[in-house]
A and B are shown apart, each in its own frame.
Chain A
Amino acid sequence: MVRKVHMSINTRLLRMTTRASRSGHEGFTLIESMVAIVILTIGLLALTGMQSFSLRKNVDANDQTRVTNLAADMLERIQFNRRKAANYHNINVSSGATTCPTAATDVMANGDCTQWRILLLNSNLQNIAGTVTLNPAPPAMDPLGLNRSTVTVQVTWNEAVSAGVTATTKTVRLDTVIAPE
């Protein structure tokens, strides 16, 4: 019993001395190093994630430029056929919809709408859809005595996303005033 107590005191002394002596030359334990590596890896993975995020945003930016050009394309077509701008009201095209003016009404408006739909679908953007609206339709005298109308060309599509991420809908909307002369 006495001996045991003595031993325990000695052991404590030994531990204390050991700890004191190690404090100056102490290295990292394997566990500590591995925890550090895991933390570092998480940080570095985040960095890599930034690169792919950046590349993806580049693609988005390019899609936006393409869609802006497609919307401008329709505006220019309406500008050419401005005397019949009213025919372009309520155009609605997508992979499932082809609401176009009939060729019997206006061969140009019909052709523009059909060609525009093909251009939109050829862009290979997800769920791309385009609409044209006039306000007022048909163009009418405004308080300034000018016969004109605000034409709105709107294109919506889903942004390209990686698997498992919900796609967000993007919109490009161009407004211009067209006077049918």
Chain B
Amino acid sequence: MERCTVDSVQDIRVLRERGFTLVEMMISIVISTVIVAAGYTILTTTHKATISNERAVGTQQNVRVAMELIARDIKQAGFGLPEAPNLPVGGTAGNCATGAAGTTITAIRPVDNNSAIPLTAVNDTGADTISFVVPRTNPTNGAISGWMLASAAPSGGAGSFTTITLTTTAVTEMQNEGMQNGSGAYISLGGVVTVPVTSSTGATITLGSPTYAPVTFPAGTQVFLLQCVTYQVASGAANCGSAGPCLTRTVDSGTAPAVTTPLVDGVEDLQLAYGCDGCNTTINAGVPDRVIDDFNGNNTFDVADFQTNRVWTFGTFDPATIRLVQINLVARQTAIDQGTGEGIQSGALSAPLQISDHLPSNDAGYAAATYQSFRRRLLTRTVDTRNLQ
């Protein structure tokens, strides 16, 4: 009895001061290691996934924005410019000039980065370029929205007018945008009349030819300066501000130097194909009939009737007959993912994506491993050039 009690008390003491055994320690270390390793793996995976996710979002956003910008400008292309070619202009032409430099202007001008590729070749190299004339206004002018007529033209109900008066600093702002005196810059009055500018001082612009309007332009009519803009794909830090490829927009305005702005990051390829009406003199005697010219002569309107820009050299087809523009845009990530892809990862693509007539593997410096390391997004849209008609 007595002994038993004493034993119990000793047991209590032993229990209170007992440490971990080696086996317990080892088991607990193993368990903690597993927990920490799992936690760390989840942390790094989450981090990688977040980065991939953000890059994918960025790429999608880039290609969407680029498509919206180009499509919007193509819809405006021309903006009431008199039918080209053979319209003598000076500064506004810039990249829109065709034929002898600076002598004629076209409302839309497809350009190929590599015109050396023969017309018979199936696959083009490099991204395409497009130039067109679009209206420029100034939306950020305080309470005044855009450039406007300060007084009606013609004033006093006269039949014609050669001068117009604009509000406050509008003329100065237009000059800053490149509207030079006598340079042949074109302005548009409310999108109705397009006239060349011969001189501009103070708030007055003198027009190159008298304008006989069927209606009077009231005070407040918007005045637009026509500019030639060029979209093309560039690369390198000097052009893009970052390593990746980008879409740039060049504005040729008057005699001032052209200004090129990197617009959208990550745009790798821009391919354009054009449907025209009345460009091919062998089809319907070159008379426009609201049917896209049937180049392959099969009496149906099909993809082959869209002509890629290689054939749009001056004198081959008149770019003013372009009615539909098919835009293909490809954007890619600006950096390579560290794992966690969508399955479109290195080695998953058996061949590069052929976009319109462009096969990237024909490009100089093409490396399959590099090409396949990027996630890409492709958008296609056909746009009606409603302002050329």
Contacts and interface: CB of A to CB of B under 8 A. Distances in A.
A140 interface: no
A7 B377 contact: no
Interface of A: 3, 6-7, 10-11, 13-14, 17-18, 21-22, 25, 30, 33, 37, 40-41, 44, 47-48, 51-52, 54-55, 58-59, 61-62, 65-66, 69-70, 72-73, 76-77, 79-81, 83, 103, 107-108, 110-112, 114-115, 118-119
B241 interface: no
Nearest to A40: B35
Contacts of B64: 65
Contacts of B117: none
B11 A111 contact: no
B146 to A, nearest CB: 25
Nearest to A62: B60
Interface residues of B, number: 48
A110 B301 contact: yes
Given A37-B35, A69-B379, A18 B15 contact: yes
B350 to A, nearest CB: 16
Interface stretch (B45-53, B201-209, B249-257): B45-53
7 contacts: A30-B27, A48-B42, A58-B53, A77-B384, A83-B290, A107-B294, A111-B301
Interface in B289-319: 290-292, 294, 299-303, 305
A6 B377 CA distance: 84
B382 interface: yes
Contacts of B299: 103, 107
Contacts of A55: 49, 52-53, 56, 342
A55 B290 CA distance: 45
Given A55-B52, A103-B300, A69 B8 contact: no
Interface in B370-389: 377, 379-384, 386
Of the listed residues B60, B301, B380, the one surrounded by the most CB atoms of chain A closer than 10 A to its CB is B301
A10 B60 CA distance: 76
Given A21-B16, A107-B301, A61 B35 contact: no
A81 B379 CA distance: 23
Given A21-B16, A47-B42, A73-B381, A10 B300 contact: no
B267 to A, nearest CB: 15
With most chain B CB atoms within 10 A of its CB, the pick from A7, A72, A80 is: A80
B4 interface: yes
B121 interface: no
A66 to B, nearest CB: 6
Given A18-B12, A51-B53, A69-B67, A112 B46 contact: no
A146 B136 CA distance: 31
A25 B27 CA distance: 19
A150 B380 CA distance: 24
Contact of B386 (A17, A48, A61, A79): A79
Contacts of A11: 8
Contacts of A13: 8
Given A69-B381, A77-B382, A108-B290, 10 more contacts: A10-B8, A14-B8, A18-B12, A47-B42, A59-B342, A66-B379, A80-B323, A107-B300, A108-B291, A111-B305
Contacts of A44: 38-39, 42
Interface string B332-364: 000000000010000000000000000000000
Contacts of A103: 299-300
Given A79-B386, A80-B324, A48 B46 contact: yes
B22 interface: no
A111 B302 contact: yes
A65 B379 contact: yes
Contact of B31 (A33, A58, A72, A118): A33
Interface in B32-46: 35, 38-39, 42, 45-46
A114 B300 contact: yes
A82 to B, nearest CB: 9
B290 A81 contact: yes
B384 A14 contact: no
A77 B269 CA distance: 23
